Amino acid sequence: MKTMIFAFMTFFSAISFAEERVFDCAATSLTRSLEVPEGANLQQNPQVIFRQGLKHWSLQVGDLYLNTRDPQGPALWMKSGSVSKTKVEYVFWVEASTEYELVVSVVDYSAQLFWWGLGEKVLLGNFQCEVTEQ
């Protein structure tokens, strides 16, 4: 009986503490701003995928891909925090410059993606996300 309880608890803890959370977001509306990040190609590939692991993360904005596991890539940094009782903000820096901000609702997993173009915060679009843990 003790072995069975131990096995159940081990299985449950493995499910509860997944190593990676994946936000797979599809655009519901995109901003028609002239200021868009070069290389992202959001009009043709309106998708944002954010993978948040215990030690590493990656962010795909359209065709642009950033990954902390890439030893040849730029210096990357990410910070997260709550914006309100129902929203979480993820801010991404590339080479010490703020580049992207993803604000996700914990109620319905809707999200807004912002780009910091030339020091000014620009809304790129609204997204609906599916969140999974792996």
Report how far residue 25's alpha carbon sits from residue 47's, in angstroms, rounded to the nearest whole number: 6
The Cα 20–Cα 23 span in angstroms is: 10
Q: Which residues pair with 58 in a beta bridge?
A: 51, 67
Instruction: With CA atoms as reference, report the closest residue to 87 among 114, 64, 109, 72.
Output: 109
Cα–Cα–Cα angle for 93, 114, 20, rounded to 5 degrees: 60
Q: Look at residue 43 and give its three-state secondary structure.
A: coil
* pLDDT tens, residue by residue, 62-115: 999 999 999 998 999 999 999 999 999 999 999 988 899 999 999 999 999 999
Alpha-carbon dihedral angle through residues 27, 28, 33, 36, given to the nearest 10 degrees:
-10
Q: How confident is the model at residue 34 (pLDDT cuts 50, 70, 90)?
A: low
Q: Do 66 and 76 meet the contact criterion of CB atoms below 8 Å apart?
A: yes
pTM for this predicted structure: 0.81
Position 18 scores a pLDDT of 65
| Between 18 and 99, residue with greater pLDDT | 99
Answer positive or negative: Cα dihedral of 21, 47, 127, 82: positive
pLDDT bin (cut points 50, 70, 90) of residue 7 is: very low
Exposure on the CB side of residue 69, measured as CA atoms within 13 A:
10
